[in-house]
Amino acid sequence: MAKPHRPIRSFVKREGRMSAAQTRALKELMPVYGVDCQSPIFMDELFGRDAPRYIEIGFGMGTSLIEMAETHPEHDYLGIEVHRPGVGSLLASLHDKGLTNLRVINDDAVKVLAEHIPADSMDGAMLFFPDPWQKKKHHKRRILQVPFIQSVMRCLKQGGVFHLATDWEDYAQQMLETLTATEGLVNSVNEGYASRGQRPMTKYERRGLRLGHEVHDLIFIKQS
């Protein structure tokens, strides 16, 4: 019997050593702010209200997500990250700031989007600075593939926004070409790249700019 096909993952777990604060936050705060992905997620129950909702896919250390949640208390945010040190850091900041409009998932975003986020439930999805997998032979590991885009679109409401950013030129071109060719998505600027808008500038982005990398934002809108 042939072995089942293993899906290509867009991440490798190289977490390194977790700090004591990150470890403590995961243990004590994940039960408070974390989301159990053993069943479908009901957003009204999760946040206790009906509000505009946004999901960040791969939030890293969580600084941008915290800033957005703090700046827009009228919005609800759901963050997905597979690496535990980043989840621990975000949980600690979330608790320190007393935010009530942010919840956290520590799991593979591809699986979560496909299986646990309700259809037509999100006003926006964000994918900022995903791993570019620089070598050409590794491009198949990039998260922005057609099945992933379809999962994002399923979760978005009509008129929902898919906002992406990268500082790798060839990845930006791939993103633009792939999203432009996707039926049901429309470029917010007709063609080409968008402005950063209200997206918080990240530590990763500042480092890239210092290295001379040009940052490209893409904003596409779901339309029937």
Q: Which residues have a catalytic role annotated?
A: 131
Residue partners of 113: CB distance under 8 A and separation at least 6: 57, 80, 148, 151, 152, 154, 155
Give me the DSSP letters along 108-172. -HHHHHHHTSPTT-EEEEEEES-----SGGGGGG-S--HHHHHHHHHHEEEEEEEEEEES-HHHH
Is residue 54 within 8 Å of residue 32, measured between CB atoms?
Answer: no
